[in-house]
Amino acid sequence: MGLSRGIFKLGVYTSIGAGEFWFFTKDSAVLPLPSNDYVALSAHLRKYNPSNNPSVRDVCVKRVPLSSIDEMLRSQDGRLVDAFCASVWGGLGYTVQRAILAHRYERPETAHQLWTTSQLRLSTYPTGTQVTDHFEVLEHTPTRIVFRCGDSPMKQGVRESDGLFEISATAKPEQGIAEFALKSVLFQGLGTTSKSPMPSYVEWLHKQYAKLWMETALLRIQR
């Protein structure tokens, strides 16, 4: 978790001051992930966490007026979640982590992965897409894109540090809103443990980071 702690601290605190950060992210809410959520019940979780070790589970949610979203994105199936996903990875919130991962892991063996801002913004994230040697698309539907995270996608077996990360976007015309969500289930997959996969302060930083990703992604989605 050493690299992750450094990334969280850099991403949250060096790019924006504490007061500005609170104001910028105040409309994003981080909540416990419901036990009946799709990700929490997925076959992926059973596969990668075979011992059912404790996990950190949360969801960052924001709802915005549907009128603030480009009509093309809200009228075509799948376009909204594709654009949101591309904006999460290609937005300002991921800049620091992307640079750190590129410095450490970009090499000929990972050349097939997405590394540059333009690649991240232009991809439609089909199943199997690998992002900065840290994320891999497991599922892609018109409303959700599920990633495996926590370690290099080059490691396909059960991992010590592992997790699922879902990016979702749903237009709700009857309510006049678009709902965006970032869901995380983070755990130790290898072996058996009764401990949380991260200290409480790292979990807090993780939640702030989710808010930063949400808000910076929506800067590129809303007009």
* DSSP codes joined into one string, 190-214: SS--SS-SS-HHHHHHHHHHHHHHH
| Residue 33: DSSP 8-state | P
Tokens 């699922």 label which residue? 164
Asked if residue 189 lies in contact with residue 151, where contact means CB atoms within 8 angstroms, the answer is no
Q: Which of 184, 194, 221, 197 is nearest to 65 (CA)?
A: 221
How many other CB atoms are there within 10 angstroms of residue 167's CB atom?
Answer: 27
- Along the 223 residues of the chain, how does pLDDT read in single tens digits? 334 444 444 444 445 555 565 555 667 889 999 999 999 999 999 999 999 999 999 999 999 999 999 888 987 889 999 999 999 999 999 998 999 999 999 999 999 999 999 999 999 999 999 999 999 999 999 999 999 999 999 999 999 999 999 999 999 999 999 999 999 999 999 999 999 999 999 999 899 989 999 999 999 898 8
Tell me the whole-structure pTM to 2 decimals.
Answer: 0.89
Secondary structure class of 34 (helix, strand, coil): coil
Residue keyed to tokens 């809410």: 29
Is the distance from CB of 146 to CB of 166 less than 8 angstroms? yes
Going by C-alpha positions, the residue among 182, 183, 134 that lies closest to residue 161 is 134
Cα(219)–Cα(88) distance, rounded to whole angstroms? 10
